[in-house]
Amino acid sequence: MTQPIRFAILDYPGAMQSAVLGLQDVLSFAGDGSGRTLQIDVLERFSGKRDAYDAVILPPSAGAVRVEEVPDLPPFLKARHASGSVVCSACTGLNFVMAAGLAGRRKVTTHWALEQRLRAAYPQIDLDTDRLLIEYTDLITAGGLMAWVDLALALIERFLGYGTAVATARHFIVDFRRRDQRRFRRFLPDLRHGDTAVLKAQHFLEGNLEEAINIPAAAEEAGLPQRTFLRRFRAATGISPKTYLQELRIERARDLLIETEKSVSEICYAVGYNDPPSFVRLFTRLSGLPPGSFREHYRRDAQHAD
């Protein structure tokens, strides 16, 4: 007799109830259509003995996640992982994966807005927020708040087959293609880290993007020796000043593409770059689309919204 497939959805404090219920609905439909027995448990407590599960799923939270408020959850994940469960997280659920030490040196993903906070909390983390879904045999991480849909489809494909996953996607009218979320990415730097010298440099960089500013100039503005500045800047923001400046400039370029009629070359110069081809390559890498396609994408969305 075939063993039932067993999933556990972890309804931790603050978990988004629409995702908890949605995961139940999507996975249950897939189980009914596959001819396999699929058991889905929703767990609100994580201490004591638990049954073995094929997968345990961390839904997203609509608010900030505080791991210390759910101290039993990381040990629970470690125990389930050690027993052979696939540990899965969507968006903020990655906080618990990291607290349990399950990612190791592997790339993981989450919502891009959580990147700096997670890098500060877990310096060893290897984040790739360009990717909506990253799968390993024992770990699946998914990106934004609604990426639980993609996570559910990945689990369905893995445990119930590709055909069932396609049929489920069609039933719920969702895209089964593995999408790229870079085009939705925004750079939202932390300005509340408490290092006033670094904050002064951040304001300086933000206010002078169109100038030929460099890292020594930012260090001087902060009133710090360059080596000290580099160390403190990374500690406060989670990234190097060079990467920070690139992110600021590309974010500004996105705004100009959406809000103005400037050409790509004009925008290149307006955000402090002097080489349009290099600017286009950098923009494409960070945004997932070339500048012209990015502009068309947003204008098409605006037309549909109208």
Q: pLDDT of the chain along its 306 residues, tens only?
A: 578 899 999 999 999 999 999 999 999 999 998 888 899 999 999 987 677 899 999 999 988 899 999 999 999 999 998 888 999 999 999 999 999 999 988 899 999 999 999 999 999 999 999 889 998 888 999 998 899 999 999 999 989 988 999 999 999 999 876 555 656 677 878 787 889 899 889 989 988 888 888 899 999 999 999 999 999 999 999 999 999 999 999 998 998 998 889 999 999 999 999 999 999 999 999 988 999 999 988 777 655 544
The DSSP 8-state label assigned to residue 180 in this structure reads: B
Beta-bridge partner residues of 288: none
| CB 91, CB 111: distance < 8 Å | yes
Q: What are phi and psi of 38, to 5 degrees?
A: -120, 120
The pairs formed by 121-124 with CB atoms below 8 angstroms and a separation of 24 or more are 121/95, 122/98
Go through the domains of the chain in sequence order and give each one's CATH number.
Answer: 5-184 (3.40.50.880), 196-305 (1.10.10.60)
For the chain, give the number of residues.
306
With beta carbons less than 8 A apart as the criterion, state whether 26 and 59 touch: no
Tokens representing 194 are 């408490």
- Alpha carbon 163 to its chain centroid, in Å, reads 28
Residues in a beta bridge with 258: none
User: Do 84 and 56 touch, CB atoms closer than 8 A?
Assistant: no
